[in-house]
Amino acid sequence: MISTVWGYMVLKDTDWLPWYLGGQNNGQLVNTCKNLPFLTYNQDVLDYGLYTFGYHFGDMIHHLVIAERHGDFEEMLLHHIATSSLYFGYIFSNHIGIGSVIAFLHDIADIFV
């Protein structure tokens, strides 16, 4: 829940977050693709992406090394690898706009899970 609130506080002032997710009236997902690959963004947005990436990467390491293996080990490992790869990809390819909005959407869903 803290990650969701943090994501909203960081993204609400950008023109990436659509109005129906609490963004500005001129916020549209199309704005995430303007000026790529030289997208300008606030340092707080990058920090949000890096910290949430660290959380999910740590989850993957915990799943591999510490957690007891259950019947869904392979499925959860695939999930952790996909999540970590997507975070790595959007951060290091400078697609911070669309990646942070998608990460925010997944953080919202995690509240109810």
Q: Report the predicted TM-score, pTM, of the whole model to 2 decimal places.
A: 0.84
Boundaries of domain holding 52: 2-112
When divided into structural domains, the chain yields a total of 1
Cα→Cα distances 27→3, 24, 70, 74, 76, Å: 21, 5, 43, 39, 34
Q: Which pLDDT does position 70 carry in this prediction?
A: 92
Instruction: Indicate the average pLDDT of the chain.
Output: 90
Q: Which pLDDT does position 48 carry in this prediction?
A: 94
> What is the Cα–Cα distance from 44 to 113, expressed in whole angstroms?
26
